[in-house]
């Protein structure tokens, strides 16, 4: 595996407006890694994630993600940055007035795809990866929470992202469904996708151990799983 950093932060401070949320963050995530980000509610996990996809500016320190320099990131660069990231949210953020397939078509069209045939192939491919190929004609409200999250993961894969940022992807799901969604993410990771997943579900960490970063007292540090 080539040792290539997809994300690196050095002495970075993360602010929400003028509030300092995290300080002196130095983190590196290599291509192909599966990394958890844990911490109590309010410990800064979401602010950390939002900084990575350009929702919050990185005001202090160094930061690179998928070839973009975070401190100098311009407003106009954010859509290009987000094309190289796959973001999965806790609340799915699917469009309820259109089918699964049209949810995905919407993203492809918005990110500049033109060729109808290529778009159909891509949609089939990502739905296949999350075992949702047979449900492409359904509307989100006809699906269970777990199925909606699978579609959200498929959507995150559309532009072959260099890293997937999953912010509490199992936060609204029951334990059994959480495990199923986790298995999908693990499978995607085995195929070479780098994943950073924020979660407070310690059961998942025990079941699927992996490198773990913890937000605590304005810091982010790597923890050895035994100390959880």
pLDDT tens-digit map of 206-218:
999 999 999 999 9
Q: What is the mean pLDDT of the chain?
A: 93
Give the model's pLDDT for residue 1.
Answer: 42
pLDDT band at 17 (very low <50, low <70, confident <90, very high): confident
> How do residues 51-102 score in pLDDT, each as one tens digit?
999 999 999 999 999 999 999 999 999 989 988 999 998 888 999 999 999 9
Q: What is the pTM of this model?
A: 0.92
State the average pLDDT over residues 1-27.
Answer: 89
For residue 201, the SS3 value is coil
pLDDT band at 226 (very low <50, low <70, confident <90, very high): low
* Residue 204 confidence (pLDDT) above 70: yes
- Closest CA relative to residue 133, chosen from 146, 117, 151, 119: 151
Domain residue ranges of the chain, discontinuous segments joined by +: 5-227
Enter the CATH code of domain 5-227: 3.40.50.300
């Amino acid at each position: 595996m080539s040792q290539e950093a997809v994300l690196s932060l050095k002495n970075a401070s993360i602010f929400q407006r003028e509030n300092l949320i995290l300080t002196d963050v130095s983190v590196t995530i290599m291509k192909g890694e599966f990394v958890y980000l844990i911490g109590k509610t309010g410990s800064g996990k979401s602010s950390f994630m939002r900084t990575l996809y350009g929702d919050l500016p990185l005001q202090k320190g160094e930061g690179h993600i998928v070839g973009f320099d975070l401190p100098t990131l311009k407003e106009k660069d954010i859509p290009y940055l987000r094309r190289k990231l796959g973001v999965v949210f806790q609340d799915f953020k699917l469009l309820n007035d259109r089918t699964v397939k049209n949810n995905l078509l919407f993203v492809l069209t918005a990110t500049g795809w033109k060729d109808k045939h290529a778009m159909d192939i891509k949609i089939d491919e990502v739905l296949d990866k999350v075992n949702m190929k047979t449900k492409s004609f359904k509307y989100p409200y006809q699906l269970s929470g777990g199925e909606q999250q699978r579609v959200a993961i498929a959507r995150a894969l559309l532009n072959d992202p260099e890293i997937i940022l999953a912010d509490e992807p199992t936060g609204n799901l029951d334990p059994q469904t959480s495990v199923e969604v986790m298995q999908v993410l693990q499978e995607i990771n085995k195929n070479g996708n780098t994943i950073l997943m924020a979660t407070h579900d310690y059961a998942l960490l025990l079941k699927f151990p992996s490198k773990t970063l913890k937000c605590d007292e304005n810091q982010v540090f790597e923890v050895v799983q035994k100390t959880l």
